């Protein structure tokens, strides 16, 4: 079992060796596996003007790859739908795209957290795929390849992954965000063994139902956005695919939801609504301004009406708590000495500026003084399959510097309030 045991529960319906772990379910993005020898792998849905063949797959199952190829070759559909968006499709087609990544621009545009989360998700899947000898997404690539060889249209029917992740983050409460972060961190330590036989057990409908039910209980908003909304989105676009016969390659856990959605009328307005990135909550927009305002007010009040020695002590505490903890974060990330020094200097100032964070500054410095090499870019996918690789790869290290120095500065801010309150 993994750490954070309250979040990693063993289902009452599971068999030995199969752990119904909801973070793993998240990282598989709701997908399970169907074996090529089972008729439940393939489901035919007859609509008035179209026949849709749903094929349940997993990202890391050899049997899923074989099933997809066999179905497309036998059915010869007019179109093949795959559970991918344009970004993930390009990643499968161009695994060397990391070589052209401009990390400095990523940090400047505030996309470092998204990149970090994406890398963690990909690393988890690849680590699991190494045990079965199948690259994550191989069955989706096989579906696209088979369709193109036959001159069949390929339709990307999944919602943009960035939209999905941002909807999850912005529609999730504070406590559940902590759960998500714990899940992300726990994935770095996940070492459970898995095989084709273990994966095959997930094809059972009761196992899938148990996982969905558990996920809905623990994180209802996450389950809604990650599974239910995407079921609607994919069903709508599968329905719109050209031709009278369509093969849809999807995750098995999506099959019930997609089947239900195909039997209903899903409006374009509904799809437009669930395709929107929700704005930040009012609290998340206000708090970054409120905290610096309180700190400044306390210092000003203390300077004019308080004890000058206390003001000096509080100022020292502010600088040391922010600077030292942020520098400690950069040190834990194995940042460059200049990065660590920058963290100590920048954190007390950035904590008073809601438009820029300590991680923004330290990440940029680390990216400049210890820039990732071409080899780091090429090997990032392989390096991140091990915990050591996160620190050994310079690209990942920049992101760890960004994360740890930011967390250190945030912790320092709250610790410093112990001295700031004495100014009143």
Q: Is 38 helix (H, G, I), strand (E, B) or coil?
A: coil
Q: How far apart are CA 19 and CA 415, in angstroms?
A: 39
Of 15-29, 324-338, 343-357, which range is least confident? 15-29
* pLDDT tens-digit map of 87-134: 888 877 776 666 567 777 778 777 777 777 777 767 666 665 555 556
Q: What is the pLDDT of residue 18?
A: 25
- Provide CB contacts within 8 A for 410, sequence distance 6+: none
Instruction: Give CA 423 to chain center in angstroms.
Output: 42
Residue 325: pLDDT band by 50, 70, 90 thresholds? very high
Q: What is the pLDDT of residue 331?
A: 96
- Neighbouring CB atoms inside 10 A of 100's CB total 8
* Sequential DSSP letters for 277-340: -PPPPHHHHHHHHHHHHHHHHHHHHHHHHS-HHHHHHHHHHHHHHHHHHHHHHHHHTT--HHHH
Q: Do residues 113 and 400 make contact, with C-beta atoms less than 8 angstroms apart? A: no
Give me the residue label for tokens 């960035």: 162
Q: What is the pLDDT of residue 37?
A: 40
DSSP 372: P
* pLDDT tens-digit map of 333-381: 999 999 999 999 999 988 888 778 899 999 999 998 988 877 777 777 7
Q: How far apart are CA 40 and CA 247, in angstroms?
A: 15
Q: What is the pLDDT of residue 15?
A: 29
* pLDDT tens-digit map of 43-66: 899 998 899 999 987 666 778 888
Percent of the chain topping pLDDT 70: 72
Average pLDDT on 192-212 reads 53
Of residues 296 and 423, more confidently modeled: 296
Inform me whether the pLDDT recorded for 24 exceeds 70: no
| Edge-to-edge strand list for the sheet holding 79-82 | 42-47, 50-57, 245-251, 79-82, 153-156
Q: What is the pLDDT of residue 336?
A: 94
Q: How far apart are CA 152 and CA 38, in angstroms?
A: 25
CA atoms in the 13 A half-sphere facing the CB of 220: 2
- Neighbouring CB atoms inside 10 A of 268's CB total 9
Nearest alpha carbon to residue 276 among 178, 170, 140? 170
Q: Do residues 96 and 375 make contact, with C-beta atoms less than 8 angstroms apart? A: no
Give me the residue label for tokens 């098995």: 252
Q: Is 247 helix (H, G, I), strand (E, B) or coil?
A: strand
pTM of the shown model: 0.70
Q: How far apart are CA 256 and CA 330, in angstroms?
A: 46
Q: How far apart are CA 59 and CA 33, in angstroms?
A: 8
Q: Where are the alpha helices (DSSP H) in 150-203?
A: 161-170, 174-189, 196-201
Q: Name beta bridge partners: 44.
A: 53
Average pLDDT on 235-243 reads 94
Inform me whether the pLDDT recorded for 31 exceeds 60: no
Mean pLDDT for all residues in the chain: 76
Counts for the chain of helices (H) and strands (E), in that order:
21, 5
Q: How far apart are CA 10 and CA 13, in angstroms?
A: 9
Q: Do residues 66 and 97 make contact, with C-beta atoms less than 8 angstroms apart? A: no
Residue 26: pLDDT band by 50, 70, 90 thresholds? very low
Give me the residue label for tokens 């069955």: 139
Nearest alpha carbon to residue 250 among 32, 77, 20, 79? 32
Q: Do residues 35 and 200 make contact, with C-beta atoms less than 8 angstroms apart? A: yes
């Amino acid at each position: 079992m993994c750490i954070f045991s309250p979040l990693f529960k063993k289902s009452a319906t599971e068999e030995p060796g199969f752990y119904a772990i909801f973070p793993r379910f998240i990282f598989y993005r709701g997908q399970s596996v169907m074996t090529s020898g089972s008729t439940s792998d393939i489901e035919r849905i007859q609509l008035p003007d179209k026949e849709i063949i749903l094929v349940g797959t997993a990202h890391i199952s050899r049997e899923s790859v074989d099933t997809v190829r066999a179905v497309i070759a036998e059915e010869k559909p007019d179109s093949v739908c795959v559970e991918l968006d344009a970004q993930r499709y390009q990643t499968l087609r161009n695994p060397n795209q990391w070589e052209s990544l401009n990390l400095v621009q990523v940090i400047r545009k505030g996309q470092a957290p998204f990149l970090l989360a994406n890398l963690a998700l990909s690393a988890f899947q690849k680590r699991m795929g190494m045990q079965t000898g199948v690259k994550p997404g191989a069955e989706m690539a096989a579906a696209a390849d088979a369709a193109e060889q036959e001159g069949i249209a390929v339709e990307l029917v999944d919602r943009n992954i960035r939209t999905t992740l941002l909807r999850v983050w912005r529609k999730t409460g504070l406590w559940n965000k902590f759960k998500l972060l714990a899940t992300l961190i726990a994935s770095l330590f996940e070492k459970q063994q898995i095989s084709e036989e273990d994966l095959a057990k997930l094809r059972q409908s009761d196992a899938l139902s148990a996982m969905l039910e558990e996920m809905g209980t623990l994180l209802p908003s996450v389950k809604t956005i990650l599974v239910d909304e995407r079921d609607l989105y994919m069903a709508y676009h599968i329905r719109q695919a050209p031709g009278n016969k369509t093969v849809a390659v999807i995750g098995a856990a999506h099959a019930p939801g997609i089947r239900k959605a195909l039997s209903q009328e899903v409006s374009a307005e509904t799809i437009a609504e669930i395709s929107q990135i929700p704005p930040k909550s009012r609290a998340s927009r206000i708090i970054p301004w409120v905290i610096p305002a309180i700190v400044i007010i306390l210092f000003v009040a203390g300077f004019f009406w308080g004890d000058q020695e206390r003001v000096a002590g509080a100022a020292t505490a502010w600088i040391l708590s922010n600077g030292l903890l942020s520098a400690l974060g950069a040190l834990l990330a194995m940042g460059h000495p200049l990065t660590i020094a920058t963290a100590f200097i920048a954190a007390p100032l950035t904590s008073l500026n809601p438009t820029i964070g300590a991680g923004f500054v330290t990440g940029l410095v680390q990216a400049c003084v210890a820039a990732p090499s071409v080899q780091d870019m090429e090997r990032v996918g392989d390096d991140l399959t091990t915990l050591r690789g996160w620190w050994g790869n310079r690209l990942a290290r920049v992101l760890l510097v960004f994360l740890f120095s930011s967390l250190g500065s945030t912790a320092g801010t709250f610790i410093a309030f112990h001295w700031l309150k004495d100014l009143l």
